[in-house]
Amino acid sequence: MNKRLAAGILLFVLLTAAAGYKLLSRQEAAITATGTIEITRADVMPKVSGYLTALPIKAGDVIKAGDLVARIGRPDLEAQVLRDEAALARAQIQLSDLEKGSRSQERQEAAASLAAAQSVYDKAKADLDRYSALYQSGAISAQQLDAAKSASDVALNALLAARSRHSLVEEGYRSDLVEAQRLEVARAKAILDASRAMLADTIVTSPLSGLILTKNFESGEYVNPGSPIATVGDLSDCWVKIYIPSTQLGLIKVGQPAAVKIDSYPDRIFAGEIKEISQNAEFTPRQSITQRERANLVFAVKVKINNADGLLKPGMPADVTLR
């Protein structure tokens, strides 16, 4: 009886030890935490204000990056672009005219004016020489000589002006005037580019591919810059944010696999992987359900989930097991 009792006690101790070891091993081998499904989302917001003339989306639509979300009617911006296009064309024509220099007709006119002025001066100079000789012989009065000198001076000044005009026509416009017009063309281009950019902003597109989660406006409504017309969520970029106590932080690492269970699919386990571990400790958030006291310091851990089937939706509660 003593041997049987001793054997029974020994067997009981061994079974208890085995069960305790198994339980402790299981607790050390796995970490469980609870969070909610999150996805990358973006608010589609216009850069300009106006009335929505087109809004071809509805909640639940699948959309690709760059697809049309809304169109804003802005006739004033369309007119502004036409105005700036005309201003640029005018500036370019003026620049082209300056770069070409004087026209052939202008050069011919300047040459003819110079020749005429030269002829007038030659005649006035000859008259002055003749009147000077006549005055020396006493044939004319001093008044007549003074008139001849005045006519010669006037003819000389007219000749000098004609020569300057001819030189300007031959040389063309000054380089600084041409450069100033080039700058005016560049300024007109910049203004036109800004107007075109504002007009392009009337077409609102999706910044990413995904699902239309919410639609906040209807066609015909007035929107302001920064107003979220709709919210797009990328279901392929899906994760669960959980919080791990500091005492268990050494048991996890980036790239570690995880098993995720969702209440909506109790018979299915979704594969996950740790993609990010916060470097800063924080107090346990109220919405996080753990077995630790909420006052404990924890680290946020981002567990990415394979959601290729698109079954997981934001806000779903999820249980994460890390092994």
List Cβ<8 Å contacts ≥24 apart for 115-121: 116/162, 117/155, 117/158, 117/159, 117/161, 117/162, 117/163, 118/159, 118/162, 120/155, 120/158, 120/159, 121/152, 121/155, 121/156, 121/158, 121/159
18-22, 72-76, 313-317: range with highest mean pLDDT: 72-76
Per-residue confidence (pLDDT) for residue 174, from 0 to 100: 67
Nearest to 33 by CA among 313, 217, 292, 297: 292
Name the phi and psi angles at 180, rounded to 5: -65, -40
pLDDT tens digits, residue range 122-162? 888 898 888 898 888 888 888 888 888 999 899 899 988 98
User: What are 233's two structure tokens?
Assistant: 């969520």
Nearest to 291 by CA among 319, 261, 253: 319
pLDDT of residue 35 exceeding 80: yes
| 8 Å CB contact between 212 and 60 | yes
First to last CA, the chain: 46
pLDDT tens digits, residue range 163-178? 887 777 666 666 778 8
Could you give the CA distance from residue 45 to residue 55 in angstroms, rounded to a whole number? 13
> Per-residue confidence at 103, pLDDT binned at 50, 70, 90?
low
Per-residue confidence (pLDDT) for residue 26, from 0 to 100: 47
Nearest to 48 by CA among 231, 222, 230, 232: 222
pLDDT of residue 180 exceeding 70: yes
Nearest to 33 by CA among 248, 235, 236, 237: 248
Could you give the CA distance from residue 211 to residue 236 in angstroms, rounded to a whole number? 10
Q: What is the pTM of this model?
A: 0.61
Sequence letter at residue 157: N
pLDDT tens digits, residue range 83-96? 999 999 999 998 88
pLDDT of residue 28 exceeding 50: no
